Amino acid sequence: MANRNVKLKFDELSSTLGTFKGLEIQIGRIMDEEWEEPMGPTPMPSVSTLRSWDRKLLNRYKPFYMPFCDLCCLCTYGKCDLTGDKKGACGISMPAQQSRIVLLACCIGAATHAAHGRHMLNHLIQEFGKDTPLVAALNTNVEAPHVRLVCGIKPQTIGDLEEALDYVETQIVQLVAAAHTGQEGDNIDFESKAFHAGMLDHVALEVADLMQIATLGLPKGDPEAPLAELGYGTINPDKPVIMCIGHNVLPSVDIIDYLMDHDLFDQVEVGGLCCTAHDMSRYNKRSKIVGPISWQLKFIKSGIPDLIVVDEQCIRTDVMDQAKLIGVPVLATSEKSCLGLPDRTHDPAEAVVNDLISGRSPGALVTEPRKVGEIAVKTAMAVRKRRGEKKLVDLGDLKEIASKCRTCMECIRACPNTLPIMDAMTAAKEGDYGPLAELNDLCVGCGRCESACPADLPILTMITQASKDQLVNEKYPIRVGRGAIQDVEIREVGSPIVFGEIPGVVALVGCANYPAGGGDVAAIAEEFLKRRFIVVTSGCSAMNIAMTRDEEGQNLYEKYPGNFDAGGLVNVGSCVSNGHITGAAIKIANIFAKRPLRANYEEIADYIYNRVGAVGVAWGAMSQKAASIAAGCWRLGIPVVVGPHGSKYRRMLLGDQGKEEDWKVFNARDGQEVYVGPAPEHLFYAAETLEEAMVMIAKLAMRPNDTSKGRAVKLSHYIDLHKKHYGAMPDDLHLFVRRGQDVPFTMKDEIMKILEAKGWVEDRIASPDPTLLDRMVRRRE
């Protein structure tokens, strides 16, 4: 649609103005309008364009800061003590400093996805051509909802996505600049900028995933995408094992292609960890998914890999040290993570392979994805041969090793979850390895216990070895990431979601920094699947959902369908597939409600916020990328619940249900400002327990637009979960029941008694055509 960098060259041009020789004209961009929809009010918004929208949200959900550090050490004035109401030498206050750190985290996250997208874009345009059609999903016209909404462009080819990414990159630079000493000083403006980073992040996510879907043959929104294998036990260690770690699938694609082209797939195991694994399985379901990020260190330490291939994001920064311990080379494939290795991109493959096999070089940096396959496969096969029978790490007698434990508790202090490692060691001293094995499912695999241990005990490997019998049998099916939600699915569910009859959409996304193991994510998923919510998932969470079986040996992917409908379990794919989840919410506003999409951010976000009962859940959120993904949800008005460790993002966005003035909206029908109750009550909430999270998810699915039937359905889930886990009815029902018809029929007597005690009056809480935007009022009375 848009032609960029057009050059016109005239040897000689005659005109009424005269004759020009050797004339060259360069035009940055020609708009070729094929999109009938008129341009909306905010094409490619700058840092402050959506500030007033952000402030509407932040006025309801005021930040509660919990400083991680009371000092600022970002410039040479400091360190400055900001405790309480003190100010830094530049004048910055503690709230501003905390929100500045939140902004920086979101910028890092957005930049990481944008850089990922840029690598995809450059490489895939070079390989497939910029005119390759952008086919995102079957039965779908709205191929790129975020790009359309934010940038106001309708991409038709993969080359068209470049303009969107240019915009994202430019804006991230502006945002990082705002965090410099002596720039922004207001905490709410910092928060608004963090929201901006989040919005940019979702554009970048969409670009990155659409690029690979359009060119690499990944599933195109297929609800019946194939099942792949996941788990420690899926890898046959007898074969050469290539272990791919990270998020950028391009090097892994070349490895798979090389294996296919040379008919070696049966002879070599290629497995992935973290999101690269998702995308490998989307590319070829024969590749194996070892597991989420929490498995990275434990799997390397097992000695199973014969070659470690790292691309980008969430890779162990000490991977060279870990590889050295098991005697295998590392192939780094991204400029973002060179690991101190020599750049061998332009060397002949054979030379690189020989150096890696011989051990002359502990690893190599090869940044051209199409050179990785040959080097990786040949190296892994030769290294496997060299390692022979001594490949797997065997610590020998665990009892003897455990006897060196000094019971100093340093491991427990270092463990993010305060796991009873010392008690397990004490039991192991007596030959009881059960407690060690029990730690396996709870361990997030960070390795801090080993780092802290004064006796240098190989704690992680001891845990793995103690649970070996269980691990070798761990094989689970997982439906590979399907990518986007089809337009036709949106048409089917738009009405029941908006009117509340489908009680909500729960998106289980993010990392594996869980407080008590990945089984919690599966438990949340199952709870809401049984309740006929739509459950969407991605990344490590999607893997952990697979890793729990019921008594009949089935996991949730085997029990629930993959379509975007009530009771559907929808694995969209990797981290960069998260854009499809928020994209589905945008498409509900556009396709079902016919709201204009093009560069119309505020109206669409206002629609989603007031009508679409979607809740993001990142139970193990760990990274800056998770922060920026959450920020993209906040700006769209989608609340996010995180697990206990998510509190370390150091600020929550919490509503105050007692402040009636905070919960007023315009009725678009008559312009009146009316009270609608605290729905959704919070925008960013860290739950202390799994049970608290479940109740909060059900509660946050309520929206002002719910019909009485829809509100009754949502209330019944909220009440049921509350009674189950809190042992009583919620004490805030009077804030969510608007009229008698909202009350779930089966609980009517009980609820009406509570409402009477609270002095509840029918219709004091209004049911308007809700909007936060004055300009959306259609008629004023």
Partner 1 sequence: MNTGQTAEIAGPKKANVVPNPDVAAKLISRAKRPLLVIGSESTAVKTKDGDLVDTAIRVMRNEKITVVATGHLVGEFRRRGVTKAYSMGIFVLGKHLSDPDWRGFDGLGSYDAVVFAGFPYYMEWLVESGLKNFSSLRTISLERSYQPNAEWSLGWMPEPDWKDTVDKIVSRLEEGK
656 binds partner 1 (CB under 8 A): yes
User: Whose CA is closest to 527, among 560, 553, 554?
Assistant: 560
150 versus 641: smaller Cβ distance to partner 1:
641
Tokens 């490692």, residue located: 421
Among 354, 689, 708, 741, binds partner 1 (CB under 8 A): 689
- Answer for the pair 225, 482: CB distance below 8 angstroms, yes or no: yes
Among 132, 647, 672, 707, binds partner 1 (CB under 8 A): 647
123 versus 725: smaller Cβ distance to partner 1:
725
334 versus 623: smaller Cβ distance to partner 1:
623
Scan residues 504-563 and list those touching partner 1 (CB under 8 A): 515
In angstroms, the CA 188 to CA 601 distance is 20
User: Whose CA is closest to 133, among 151, 159, 152, 154?
Assistant: 159
256 versus 679: smaller Cβ distance to partner 1:
679
Q: Is 2 helix (H, G, I), strand (E, B) or coil?
A: strand
692 binds partner 1 (CB under 8 A): yes
188 binds partner 1 (CB under 8 A): no
Q: Which two tokens stand for residue 624?
A: 């800056």
Among 9, 390, 413, 559, binds partner 1 (CB under 8 A): 413
305 versus 677: smaller Cβ distance to partner 1:
677
Strand partners, 12: 21
Binding residue count for partner 1, defined by CB under 8 A: 42
* Site stretch for partner 1 (CB under 8 A), options 145-153, 250-258, 679-687, 712-720: 679-687
- The DSSP symbol for 686 reads E
* Site stretch for partner 1 (CB under 8 A), options 286-294, 382-390, 479-487, 724-732: 724-732
Scan residues 88-107 and list those touching partner 1 (CB under 8 A): 94
Among 123, 595, 725, 739, binds partner 1 (CB under 8 A): 725
| Cα 391–chain centre separation | 35
Interhelix angle 94-128/624-635, nearest 10 degrees: 100
Instruction: Return the number of other C-beta atoms located less than 10 Å from residue 440's C-beta.
Output: 19
| Cα 728–chain centre separation | 34
Helices (H), 430-518: 434-439, 448-452, 459-466, 468-471, 487-498
Give the pairing type, strands 664-667 and 770-771: antiparallel
- Answer for the pair 517, 645: CB distance below 8 angstroms, yes or no: no
Minimum gap (Å) between residue 269 Cβ and partner 1? 38
Minimum gap (Å) between residue 63 Cβ and partner 1? 9
Among 71, 227, 392, 427, binds partner 1 (CB under 8 A): 71
165 versus 415: smaller Cβ distance to partner 1:
415
Scan residues 252-271 and list those touching partner 1 (CB under 8 A): none
Backbone angles phi, psi at 28, to 5 degrees: -65, -45
- The DSSP symbol for 394 reads -
27 binds partner 1 (CB under 8 A): no
Minimum gap (Å) between residue 221 Cβ and partner 1? 37
- For 279-306, the three-class secondary structure string (H helix, E strand, C coil) is HHHHHCCCCEEEECHHHHHHHHHCCCCC
Scan residues 417-446 and list those touching partner 1 (CB under 8 A): 418
User: Whose CA is closest to 452, among 408, 404, 401, 420?
Assistant: 408
695 binds partner 1 (CB under 8 A): yes
Scan residues 726-755 and list those touching partner 1 (CB under 8 A): 726-728
399 binds partner 1 (CB under 8 A): no
* Site stretch for partner 1 (CB under 8 A), options 42-50, 166-174, 319-327, 683-691: 683-691
152 versus 518: smaller Cβ distance to partner 1:
518
Scan residues 582-641 and list those touching partner 1 (CB under 8 A): none
Mark 41-70 with x for binding to partner 1 (rule: CB under 8 A) and - for no binding.
---------------------x-xxxxxxx
Instruction: Return the number of other C-beta atoms located less than 10 Å from residue 218's C-beta.
Output: 26
In angstroms, the CA 44 to CA 47 distance is 10
Residues 6+ apart with CB under 8 A from 695: 718, 721, 722, 725, 726
Residues that bind partner 1 (CB under 8 A): 62, 64-71, 81-84, 94, 408-409, 413, 416, 418, 515, 644-645, 647-648, 650, 652, 654, 656, 682, 685-689, 691-692, 695-696, 725-728
